[in-house]
Amino acid sequence: GQNIDQPTEMTATEGAIVQINCTYQTSGFNGLFWYQQHAGEAPTFLSYNVLDGLEEKGRFSSFLSRSKGYSYLLLKELQMKDSASYLCAVRDGSSNTGKLIFGQGTTLQVKP
Protein backbone atom coordinates (compact mmCIF):
# COMPACT_ATOMS: atom_id res chain seq x y z
CA GLY A 1 0.00 0.00 0.00
CA GLN A 2 0.84 3.65 -0.09
CA ASN A 3 1.43 5.65 3.07
CA ILE A 4 2.90 9.11 3.38
CA ASP A 5 3.14 10.76 6.81
CA GLN A 6 3.74 14.38 7.76
CA PRO A 7 3.06 16.33 10.95
CA THR A 8 -0.32 18.03 10.80
CA GLU A 9 0.71 21.42 12.15
CA MET A 10 3.88 23.33 13.02
CA THR A 11 4.55 26.79 14.40
CA ALA A 12 7.74 28.80 14.01
CA THR A 13 9.01 32.33 14.50
CA GLU A 14 9.80 34.84 11.79
CA GLY A 15 13.49 34.73 10.91
CA ALA A 16 13.97 31.21 12.30
CA ILE A 17 14.57 27.87 10.57
CA VAL A 18 11.98 25.10 10.41
CA GLN A 19 12.23 21.50 9.22
CA ILE A 20 9.16 19.64 7.98
CA ASN A 21 9.56 15.88 7.89
CA CYS A 22 7.95 13.36 5.58
CA THR A 23 8.15 9.59 5.77
CA TYR A 24 6.80 7.31 3.08
CA GLN A 25 6.08 3.67 2.42
CA THR A 26 5.10 3.09 -1.19
CA SER A 27 5.05 0.16 -3.56
CA GLY A 28 7.61 1.89 -5.74
CA PHE A 29 9.52 5.15 -5.88
CA ASN A 30 10.31 7.47 -8.75
CA GLY A 31 10.84 10.83 -7.09
CA LEU A 32 9.60 12.94 -4.17
CA PHE A 33 8.06 16.38 -4.50
CA TRP A 34 7.32 19.22 -2.13
CA TYR A 35 4.52 21.68 -2.86
CA GLN A 36 3.42 24.85 -1.10
CA GLN A 37 -0.25 25.71 -0.81
CA HIS A 38 -1.57 28.98 0.60
CA ALA A 39 -5.10 28.94 1.98
CA GLY A 40 -7.69 29.01 -0.78
CA GLU A 41 -5.10 28.64 -3.53
CA ALA A 42 -3.66 25.89 -5.72
CA PRO A 43 -0.50 23.99 -4.78
CA THR A 44 2.70 25.29 -6.34
CA PHE A 45 5.87 23.29 -6.94
CA LEU A 46 8.79 23.82 -4.55
CA SER A 47 11.30 21.02 -5.00
CA TYR A 48 12.05 17.58 -6.38
CA ASN A 49 14.39 14.83 -5.19
CA VAL A 50 15.02 11.53 -6.90
CA LEU A 51 18.52 10.75 -5.64
CA ASP A 52 19.73 10.76 -2.03
CA GLY A 53 21.01 14.03 -0.70
CA LEU A 54 20.21 17.70 -0.38
CA GLU A 55 18.76 19.97 -3.03
CA GLU A 56 19.03 23.68 -2.27
CA LYS A 57 16.95 26.42 -3.85
CA GLY A 58 17.29 29.80 -2.18
CA ARG A 59 15.77 29.75 1.32
CA PHE A 60 14.31 26.29 0.72
CA SER A 61 16.18 22.98 0.78
CA SER A 62 14.91 19.43 0.49
CA PHE A 63 16.62 16.24 1.58
CA LEU A 64 15.98 12.64 0.61
CA SER A 65 17.05 9.27 2.01
CA ARG A 66 15.56 6.49 -0.11
CA SER A 67 16.83 3.70 2.16
CA LYS A 68 14.99 5.26 5.12
CA GLY A 69 11.90 6.36 3.19
CA TYR A 70 12.46 9.85 4.55
CA SER A 71 12.55 13.40 3.33
CA TYR A 72 12.52 16.82 4.88
CA LEU A 73 11.89 20.35 3.70
CA LEU A 74 14.03 23.02 5.36
CA LEU A 75 12.89 26.63 5.33
CA LYS A 76 15.43 29.25 6.40
CA GLU A 77 14.97 32.89 7.36
CA LEU A 78 11.26 32.40 7.75
CA GLN A 79 8.97 35.14 6.53
CA MET A 80 5.32 35.74 7.35
CA LYS A 81 4.40 34.84 3.76
CA ASP A 82 5.76 31.31 4.40
CA SER A 83 2.62 30.59 6.44
CA ALA A 84 1.03 27.91 4.29
CA SER A 85 0.51 24.17 3.95
CA TYR A 86 3.44 22.10 2.72
CA LEU A 87 2.60 18.94 0.83
CA CYS A 88 4.90 15.96 0.42
CA ALA A 89 4.17 13.75 -2.59
CA VAL A 90 5.73 10.59 -4.02
CA ARG A 91 5.65 9.55 -7.66
CA ASP A 92 4.62 5.97 -8.23
CA GLY A 93 7.61 3.83 -9.10
CA SER A 94 5.91 2.24 -12.06
CA SER A 95 5.08 5.57 -13.65
CA ASN A 96 6.96 8.14 -15.66
CA THR A 97 4.03 10.49 -15.42
CA GLY A 98 3.01 13.17 -12.97
CA LYS A 99 0.92 10.60 -11.06
CA LEU A 100 1.63 11.63 -7.49
CA ILE A 101 0.43 10.33 -4.14
CA PHE A 102 0.20 13.08 -1.52
CA GLY A 103 0.55 13.17 2.22
CA GLN A 104 -2.07 15.05 4.23
CA GLY A 105 0.06 18.19 4.34
CA THR A 106 1.69 20.20 7.14
CA THR A 107 0.18 23.56 8.04
CA LEU A 108 2.95 25.96 9.04
CA GLN A 109 2.15 29.09 10.99
CA VAL A 110 4.86 31.73 11.15
CA LYS A 111 4.53 34.12 14.08
CA PRO A 112 6.18 37.54 14.47
Partner 1 sequence: NAGVTQTPKFQVLKTGQSMTLQCAQDMNHEYMSWYRQDPGMGLRLIHYSVGAGITDQGEVPNGYNVSRSTTEDFPLRLLSAAPSQTSVYFCASSYMELAGYTGELFFGEGSRLTVL
Q: Is 8 in the site for partner 1 (CB under 8 A)?
A: yes
Asked if 71 is part of the footprint of partner 1 (rule: CB under 8 A), the reply reads no
48 near partner 1 (CB under 8 A): yes
- β-strand pairing of 44-49 with 100-102: unpaired
Asked if 12 interacts with partner 1 (CB under 8 A), we say: no
Nearer to partner 1, 42 or 81 (CB): 42
Q: Which region, left, alpha or beta, applies to residue 53 given φ > 0 means left and ψ of -120 to 50 means alpha?
A: left
69 belongs to the binding site for partner 1 (CB under 8 A): no
Judged by CB under 8 A, which of 59, 68, 99, 111 binds partner 1? 99
87 and 35 Cβ atoms separated by less than 8 Å = yes
85 within 8 A of 37, measured Cβ to Cβ = yes
